[in-house]
Chains A and B, each alone.
Chain A
């Protein structure tokens, strides 16, 4: 079964600093990979997805993620954090035969300090 591991349940970053959220997946076959964001009292919003095209995926709000098969990783980055980036971020994976059936990581809460 697919699974994802997110390193760090809480990350604190200064405004303007690099945001780096780590995600590793376990699968013998490269799956579909996703990053979602959840703002307080809101639903999950897709930031970006990897579906086997370019390994560097650009998403909304200035985020991007790079798929590295050799490292089974899909880390999320943003060069310069903004106060509005404070939220919880979830990495997720799905099998290629089960689009929509997502396995989520535990989430990383991002705090942005002035």
Chain B
């Protein structure tokens, strides 16, 4: 069964360092998303991406964040200078383009710990 895969599963970094979280969406999917969940809080929408550009972003997604689809398979989330409050589980999701109300498929998440 096709699935969304994310790497790394867990990353520990020092405050101020750059972090790149990687996602491989399902191969024929066209819409891509990042969500995050700070420990003990709700899952929050960060950004949606379609046709090589951001479709929508939340207030959380400030200039420290960027997304990219560098090749035909990967979808990355970069945090330029990490802060303590960026510690969270980050989920990537993708969906196909043929059904306008199609299911989002989520990866297992990448846990980021900022020290």
Interface contacts (Cβ under 8 Å), in number, total 48
> Chain B interface: which of A15-23, A39-47, A66-74, A77-85?
A39-47
B56 touches A101 (CB 8 A): yes
Which one of B100, B101, B107 has the highest number of Cβ atoms from chain A below 10 Å of its Cβ? B101
Q: Considering only CB atoms, which chain A residue lies closest to B3 in the complex?
A: A43
Chain B residues in 8 Å Cβ range of A90: 43
Q: Are B101 and A43 in contact (CB under 8 A)?
A: no
Within 8 A of B (CB), among A11-63: 32, 36, 41-46, 49, 51
Closest B residue to A98 by beta carbon equals B56
The smallest beta-carbon distance between B6 and chain A, in angstroms, is 8
Contact present for B107 and A100 (CB under 8 Å): no
Separation in Å of the A70 CB from the closest CB of chain B? 24
Q: Mark each residue of chain A from 85 to 102: 1 if its CB lies under 8 Å from any CB of chain B, else 0.
A: 000001010000011111
Q: Is B20 an interface residue (CB 8 A)?
A: no
Query: Known pairs A41-B108, A44-B91. 9 more at Cβ < 8 A?
Result: A36-B106, A49-B101, A51-B101, A92-B43, A99-B100, A100-B93, A101-B45, A104-B43, A105-B42
Q: Which residues of A contact B (CB under 8 A)?
A: 32, 36, 41-46, 49, 51, 90, 92, 98-107
6 closest Cβ pairs, A-B complex: A43-B106, A104-B43, A44-B106, A43-B108, A51-B101, A46-B103
Interface residues of B (CB under 8 A from A): 4, 31, 33, 35, 41-45, 48, 56, 91, 93, 95, 100-101, 103-104, 106-109
